Structures are given as structure tokens and as C-alpha cells.
Amino acid sequence: MECCCLTVCVGTVALLFALLWWFVRALNRSSFWVLMWNVFIIEQLRNKFTQTTRPQRILKAVQKNATKGDPDSVISAIDHYCKHSEWAMNVGDEKGSILDSVVSEVNPSTVLELGTYCGYSAVRIARLLSPGSKLITVEFNPAIAAIAKQIIAYAGIQDKVTLVEGSSGDLIPKMKECFGITSFDFIFLDHWKDRYVPDTKLLEECGLLRKGTVLLADNVICPGAPEYLKYIRNNRRYESRYYPAHLEYTKVEDGLEKSIFLG
């Protein structure tokens, strides 16, 4: 009897989950609140019922659908999973194309990425770098960093990427000493938005910006980085341009801010 009750309960919960998922998928994803529903409700239900995390599920999708050693295949596998199965906070395909164009334009030898997450943007950037170039990517969460390392290795670009775990505020002052970096040619900001301004100032103070260094900041509209935009656009040491786009895998307004350090 107890076994039957348990089966009914599990079945009911599973059915409710399926109905919730169908409801969210049926809604127009232009709504920011639908996105929040996905992140805070659907994701938690998935975590509980699958006993996995979203980064682990992204890794599994890569291993199942991407070709090992092919970074473009890895990018496509993540994009497909995040469009059709589960939203994730990668830079995404639309803004990723803007990121690609800026990286190709700059052709950097030294790159700093603040906020690795699952390694999606690190793969996008590294695949465009010339031989001998160096990308240092910083991730605060050790569990997510472990997933990112596997995805980066699966893409076959691990020789170009150094993933460092820890706080950006602690690591930026150690860049010259630990990695022999004189300055960075390109910096991609995609971590906590309230760290954009203090970390930019820290990069300035540590002498890690040279004349011509390009900073590209993601999510300046959604969830937004108003203090960063105020700082960078009203600073005579920078020349800035805004690239309008949409939040990854949605129709929610977002954009990237490209800023050139003038010295």
C-alpha cells in the first residue's frame, strides 16, 4: 500500500513538473518574468529530480552532441541545448557573434575573461586567437570551474586557456606576478555586474591596461550595469560604443558595451 502511495505521489509530482515545463515553453520568452520562472523554479525542479546541476547537464549535452576537439561543434551543442532544453547565462549566439567580431578586430595576444561559467565564451574567444596567444579566465565557483575545464578540454583549446579559480578582486593584482602579464589587449567582463566598476578601476591601478586595450562588457542592459555605463561613458580615458542585442536565447533587450582605453 505504501509503495502504491509513493508511486502515485512521484507520478503526480512528475506530471506537475511536465505541465509547468509545457506552460513555460508555451509562453513568449520575451518576458523577463518568464526567464526568472525558468531560473528560480524550473531549474530548481530539474536539479532536484535529476540530482544534477545545470552546468553538469550542459556538459552532458556537449559530450553527447559535440565533436571532441571541434570548438565550433561545442558552441553549437551548447546553443542548441540552451535554446531548446534549458536557458543558461552564456553570452549566447547573438551576442556571441558580436564578441567574435570584436575579438577578430582586436586580434589580441593577451586576453582576460572575468566570469568563466561553463566555458562557453572562453571557447568562443580561444578558437579565434592566434598561436601563442594567452587567455586567462577567472571563475569564482569551484564546482562550475571544474565543469568549464572539462568543456574547454573537450573543445581542444586548453593549451590557449588558463582557468583560475577565485575572486576577481583578489586575482587581478596578482596577474603580473603569477602569469607574467604586462598588460591585456582584450578584456571580457561577464561576471557579477556590481564588480564591473571596481574591477575596471583595479585593472587601471594595476597597470594592466595599455593604450588601445579593448574592454567588452556583457549584460549591460539585462540584468544591467548602470554604474559601469555611467563610469565608462563619462570617463575621458575611454572611447565607448554600445552594441544592442538581446539577452542570451531570449527576446529580452540587452547589449554589449565596447570601450577602448585611451591611456
Q: Give the catalytic positions in this structure.
A: 190, 193, 218-219, 248
Verify cis geometry, omega within 30 degrees of 0, for the bond prior to 223.
Answer: yes
Q: Are 121 and 90 in contact (CB under 8 A)?
A: yes
Cα dist. 236→181, 210, 214, 260 in Å?
Answer: 25, 15, 15, 11
The 10 Å Cβ neighbour count of residue 8 is 10
Sequence ranges of the binding site for substrate: 193, 219, 248
How buried is 18 (Cβ within 10 angstroms: 0-12 exposed, 13-18 middle, 19+ buried)?
exposed
Strands 161-165 and 238-246: unpaired
The alpha-carbon radius of gyration of the chain (Å, integer) is: 20
Sequence ranges of the binding site: 91, 121, 139, 190, 193, 218-219, 248
Sequence ranges of the binding site for Mg(2+): 190, 218-219
Task: Report DSSP letters for 72-116, one per residue.
Answer: HHHHHHHHHHHHHT----S-HHHHHHHHHHHHHHH--SEEEEE--
CA distance 73 to 78: 9
| Amino acid of residue 151 | I
CA distance 217 to 148: 20
